[in-house]
Chains A and B, each alone.
Chain A
Amino acid sequence: SQQGEEDPQALSIQEGENATMNCSYKTSINNLQWYRQNSGRGLVHLILIRSNEREKHSGRLRVTLDTSKKSSSLLITASRAADTASYFCATGRGGGTSYGKLTFGQGTILTVHP
């Protein structure tokens, strides 16, 4: 079953603008990860934020996590045409018995126009 729900389902912006994608989930988590998928290719890991973290940065990416609201957001600043892809959030319940299992959301399709 899909745990994460991304919002919006599709986002269209101009190059240079910022893109914000949101993810909501239902059960408690150990961490939340964001992945990018270019058309017809495998997924690429972008960033991992643990449940005891509130914000994390990586280059032009900024991720926030609010465990009280069971939600996360991914911000891409100064977007480029090459950022055009589908973005997925995935929730993890950690190691131990789950051995790092991830549950993916439906994804947000981002289109950046040159």
Chain B
Amino acid sequence: EAGVAQSPRYKIIEKRQSVAFWCNPISGHATLYWYQQILGQGPKLLIQFQNNGVVDDSQLPKDRFSAERLKGVDSTLKIQPAKLEDSAVYLCASSLVGLAGSQNEQFFGPGTRLTVL
């Protein structure tokens, strides 16, 4: 079974530039998550999709970050314009939808390491 795919693996940009990350979840996984992981910290959820709808974007800095999941499969996360503090690893994860009240494990991609200079 193919895992969660992400690209690019590494990206270096100047501040105020824009950048986009791509994620392809595991086939059949309805739920897709984007996390930001700053060095030395645990992942922080940015946005969560259920099929192609957003169910949680409460921690997404909407003035500069945007994400979409067209057709309920692939997803892109964009930052425009980037700031120095956006330097982090951006992780994509997917999971099956659990039965009411239950929860399943999340499968993570390798991440994109973003450096903003």
> Which residues does A use to contact B, with CB under 8 Å?
2, 4, 30-31, 33, 35, 40-45, 48, 88, 90, 92-96, 98-107
Once the chains bind, are A95 and B108 in contact (CB under 8 Å)? no
Per-residue contact bits, chain B 52-91, to A (CB 8 Å; 1 contact, 0 not): 0001100000000000000000000000000000000001
CA distance A104 to B35 in the complex (A): 10
Once the chains bind, are A106 and B42 in contact (CB under 8 Å)? yes
Contact A99-B4, Cβ < 8 Å, known A42-B109, A45-B107, A92-B103: no
Once the chains bind, are B4 and A101 in contact (CB under 8 Å)? no
The residue that A95 contacts in the complex, of B100, B107, B113, with Cβ under 8 A, is: B100
Chain A residues within 8 Å of B31, by CB: 99-100
Once the chains bind, are A41 and B102 in contact (CB under 8 Å)? no
Contact A102-B45, Cβ < 8 Å, known A42-B4, A44-B108, A95-B103: yes
Contact A41-B41, Cβ < 8 Å, known A31-B103, A95-B102, A99-B56: no
Contact A101-B101, Cβ < 8 Å, known A42-B111, A45-B106: no
Instruction: Give A17 Cβ to nearest chain B Cβ, in Å.
Output: 25
Residue of A nearest to B6 (CB): A42
Interchain residue pairs with CB less than 8 A apart (17): A2-B42, A33-B105, A42-B109, A45-B106, A48-B105, A88-B42, A95-B99, A95-B101, A95-B102, A96-B100, A99-B31, A99-B50, A100-B106, A101-B56, A102-B106, A103-B45, A107-B42
